[in-house]
């Protein structure tokens, strides 16, 4: 069974950093492109970052470029995102998801909440 | 960036109704369009990929259509468990989602 489980969320102060992680199981992790998304309370889904299978290519949404960094460890079946210079508007549920071979996000984690507040 | 606009933002319908949700792209996305269902407190769930292909395990009452800039998700006979928010998502140029249509029972 494919599973994605996020961790690392919490309450942090503006300007601080946090790492959210996603551990995968039930599939050959190294064969799949992975993504991070977020969803602010009562809001839509925002795509944040992409990483290809061997980490040679990444891409970010303009809203987080230069502040967030995606990485993966195929030996540990994990994809992480380092969040830096956090702002109140970064408060959201953060999800990781697998991109299927057909270009859709076919499996999602349950999400991890990040709250940025003083 | 490609903008995705969904309408309506809120839709009330009765059990058994045929329901149509719309999604419009700011430019041609060449059918690179997926649909997701999100129930309260849950992660999004893939329903339809590449405009009209039904994801494994999704009931056949869900269907998708469209081309160019205009796309539609149809539920042929609404069931109580279909109460959710539905999002379209393009992948012709990077990835963007529509704002969602919240579907409730009348």
- The answer to whether residue B104 scores a pLDDT higher than 90 is yes
Q: What pLDDT, in 10s, does the model give residues B43-75?
A: 999 999 999 999 999 999 999 999 999 999 999
Residues of chain A neighbouring B91 (CB-CB closer than 8 A): 103-104
How many Å lie between the alpha carbon of A76 and the closest alpha carbon of chain B? 23
- The answer to whether residue A41 scores a pLDDT higher than 90 is no
pLDDT above 70 covers what percent of chain A?
A: 100
Among A47, A95, A103, the residue with its CB nearest the CB of B43 is A95
Helix (H) or strand (E) holding B101: strand B101-105
Q: What pLDDT, in 10s, does the model give residues B78-90?
A: 999 999 999 999 9
| pLDDT score recorded for residue A89 | 95
- Under the banding of pLDDT at 50, 70 and 90, the label for residue A42 is confident
Tell me how far apart the alpha carbons of residues A97 and B25 are, in angstroms, rounded to a whole number. 23
Q: What pLDDT, in 10s, does the model give residues B33-42?
A: 999 999 999 9
Distances (CA, A) of A105 to B41, B50, B88: 18, 12, 12
């Amino acid at each position: 069974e494919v599973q994605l489980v996020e961790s690392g969320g919490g309450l942090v102060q503006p300007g601080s950093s946090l790492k959210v992680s996603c551990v995968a199981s039930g599939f050959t992790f190294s064969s799949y492109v992975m993504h991070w998304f977020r969803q602010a309370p009562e809001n839509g889904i925002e795509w944040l970052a992409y990483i290809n299978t061997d980490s040679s290519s990444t891409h970010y949404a303009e809203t987080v470029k230069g502040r967030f960094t995606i990485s993966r460890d195929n030996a540990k079946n994990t994809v992480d995102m380092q969040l830096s210079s956090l702002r109140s508007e970064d408060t959201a549920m953060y999800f990781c998801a697998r991109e299927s071979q057909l270009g859709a996000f076919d499996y999602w984690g349950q999400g991890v909440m990040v709250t940025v507040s003083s | 960036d490609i903008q995705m606009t969904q309408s309506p933002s809120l839709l009330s319908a009765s059990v058994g109704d045929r329901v149509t949700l719309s999604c419009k792209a700011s430019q041609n996305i060449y059918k690179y369009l997926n649909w997701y269902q999100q129930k309260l407190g849950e992660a999004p769930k893939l329903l339809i990929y590449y405009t009209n292909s039904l994801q494994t395990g999704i009931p056949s009452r869900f269907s998708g259509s469209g081309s160019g800039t205009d796309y539609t998700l149809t539920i042929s006979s609404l069931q109580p468990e279909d109460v959710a928010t539905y999002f379209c998502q393009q992948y012709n140029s990077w990835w963007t989602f529509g704002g969602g249509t919240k579907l409730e029972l009348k």
